[in-house]
Amino acid sequence: MNGLGGLNKAPDGVVIGLVQLQLPVVATPQDLAAQTARIVALVGKARANLAGMDLVVFPEYALHGLSMDTNPDILCRLDGPEVVAFKQACAENRIWGCFSIMEYNPHGQPYNVGLIIDDAGELRLYYRKMHPWVPVEPWEPGDLGIPVIDGPKGAKLALIICHDGMFPEMARECAYKGAEIMLRTAGYTAPIREAWRFTNQSNAFCNLMVTANVCMSGSDGTFDSMGEGMVVNFDGTIIAHGTSGRPDEIITAEVRPDLVREARRHWGVENNIYQLGHRGYAAVKGGAGDCPYTYMHDLAAGRYRLPWEAEVRITDGTSCGIPAPTRSYRPRREPGAKEAAE
């Protein structure tokens, strides 16, 4: 199934490389430029590492490190030199790439953004992290939903970022919109290791979807990221796993979107994403297609409230040194990946 990490590539296979990038320290524009050059060099390493690699994936915070610094001098823009360099690297090496930037936002806090660029250097996917890791992260909540694109070899591809993957609704949304491969990039540190592993597996199994997941690696002198590159098959089995945490190691695997499609069509038992909307179809024709979930109704109506809501004590970022916000959330519909690429 894995073709020895992509060394023996099947005609329908998609080979993914997950870069367990050394955690950087980025405090100045000069640091940002140096880290950009380092990522570009690693795109070249990925291509040299495996001629058949289709997609190289860099972790969240690959460019900025874990300082959570919102200094405008080190924030990025879609037309800035960092993104231009990533596009050139993908085109020159004829490889798809997934990258992370912290993007300047003139309307509020910066966005934590994931980008997928194709092998011709065109921006194909633009995603704003929906669930910043509160109370630690100061980023604006994403407001553009989860895009799904045609990736390498036509595979349906989605991207979520780090804490997003702790919400089963995020992976379900990716699969519901057709994703066959879901990328999850992260900067997680060791305390999250076990949750990282089992959510990567459950996100795959519950949606009959491949998940490809990678964290930063090594230490920046303060934080220690864990690497943990993982590729999980649609049945929940791990087919590649970077357990050593070695910085800059590229974990590779071949995945088969064609077998995802086959399972989604032919599985009966545990075809859970289908069965969610067709409850009890062995008893009633077509199954029950209602929505029996209170939290879904309440969230959609703007009245989501936990039974213990009044007892929750941490409801802003002040415990992590982030000033309490005074501005209420208002979604802004700005250009997504298609418009941004034009």
Contacts of 10 (CB under 8 A, 6+ apart): 3, 254, 256
**How are beta strands 230-232 and 111-117 bridged, if at all?**
unpaired
Closest CA to 79 of 146, 147, 137, 126: 126
Dihedral in degrees, nearest 10, Cα atoms 103, 107, 108, 111: -20
Report the 10 Å Cβ neighbour count for 219: 13
DSSP of 59-126, one letter per residue? PTTTTTBTS----GGG-B-TTSHHHHHHHHHHHHHT-EEEEEEEE--TTSSPEEEEEEE-TTS-EEEE
Catalytic pick among 76, 129, 140, 254: 129
Contacts of 36 (CB under 8 A, 6+ apart): 63, 81, 82, 85, 86
Q: Is 18 helix (H, G, I), strand (E, B) or coil?
A: strand
DSSP of 181-235, one letter per residue? EEEEEE--BGGGHHHHHHHHHHHHHTTT-EEEEEE-EEE-SS-EEE---EEE-TT
Catalytic pick among 90, 162, 174, 215: 162
**How are beta strands 224-226 and 217-219 bridged, if at all?**
antiparallel
Q: Is 139 helix (H, G, I), strand (E, B) or coil?
A: coil
Q: Is 162 a catalytic residue?
A: yes
Residue 150 phi, psi dihedral angles, 5° rounding:
-85, 110
CA–CA dist 9, 254 (Å, integer): 7
CA–CA dist 142, 124 (Å, integer): 18
Closest CA to 28 of 80, 73, 76, 82: 73
> Omega of the bond prior to 135 within 30 degrees of 0, cis?
yes
Q: Is 9 a catalytic residue?
A: no
Just list the catalytic residues: 60, 129, 162
